[in-house]
Each structure stands twice: as structure tokens, then as C-alpha cells.
């Protein structure tokens, strides 16, 4: 059984959405499976003049992104989900694209494994 997976093996890591002029909307939504935790390492968001995007982690951590890619060192801990909302400040509809890189770990397994290592040592 695999206890660590790339985000590519967990869900759709590339998503896109067209947003009308002067509007804002969800471009990306990625859910971490139950009993797993995620670690976001890098995010790529299409860059369009007069537009910006907001990265939202677990409905709490917010980061406005103007340039891309953004690399996180150390990776950002994700318990439930990753969302990106974009704002179109142009006079025409725009296609926003998002791609993420990271990995997920099965938390109960990892805790059990670490406890076993400690008790053996």
C-alpha cells in the first residue's frame, strides 16, 4: 500500500475557468482525501495584466498572487482543500489556469509508523 502520493495521483491538479470582465470566480478547487494531509510545494497561475488571484488553504490561509510560479519552502500544510479565486480586471473575458505540485500523506499510517520506530529504538 502507498502511504505517500503525488497530488497528481490524488486529484485534478490542472484546472481552468473563464471569467467575465470585471468579475471574480473560483478557478481551482482541490480536496485532500479524508485521513490524509497535503503539502503544497508549488503553484502556477496564469498571469494576466490587471488581474490577480487569491490562494485559499483550508478556508483560512489567504495569499494574493500577482506573479507565478510561487514555490513554498517549506511546503504549505493542507488539511482539507486548496482553492484559487481570480479577479478579472480587464475589459474582456479571460481564461485563468492553475496547476499545483505537492504530495499527500496518510496521516494515521505515518503516526503509527513513527510510534513503532520510537518504541523499537
**What's the pLDDT at 2?**
55
What mean pLDDT comes out for the span 91-119? Answer: 85
Backbone phi and psi for residue 78, each to the nearest 5 degrees, phi listed first: -125, 120
The three grid cell numbers given for residue 102, joined into one nine-digit string: 505537492
User: In terms of pLDDT, which residue wins out, 118 or 88?
Assistant: 88
Total count of domains within the chain: 1
**What's the pLDDT at 78?**
96
CATH of the domain at 81: 2.60.120
Query: For 37-92, how does the pLDDT look when each residue is reduced to its tens digit (9 = 90+)?
Result: 999 999 999 999 999 999 999 988 899 998 889 999 999 999 999 999 999 999 99
Q: What is the pTM of this model?
A: 0.86
Domain span at residue 85 reads 4-120
Amino acid at each position: 500500500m502507498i502511504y505517500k502520493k503525488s497530488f497528481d495521483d490524488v486529484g485534478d491538479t490542472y484546472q481552468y475557468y473563464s471569467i467575465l470582465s470585471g468579475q471574480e470566480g473560483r478557478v481551482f478547487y482541490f480536496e485532500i482525501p479524508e485521513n490524509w494531509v497535503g503539502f503544497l510545494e508549488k503553484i502556477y497561475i496564469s498571469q494576466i495584466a490587471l488581474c490577480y488571484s487569491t490562494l485559499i488553504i483550508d478556508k483560512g490561509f489567504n495569499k494574493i498572487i500577482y506573479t507565478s510560479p510561487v514555490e513554498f519552502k517549506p511546503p504549505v500544510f493542507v488539511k482539507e482543500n486548496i482553492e484559487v479565486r481570480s479577479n478579472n480586471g480587464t475589459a474582456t473575458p479571460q481564461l485563468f489556469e492553475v496547476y499545483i505540485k505537492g504530495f499527500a500523506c496518510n496521516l494515521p499510517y505515518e503516526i503509527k509508523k513513527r510510534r513503532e520506530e520510537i518504541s523499537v529504538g
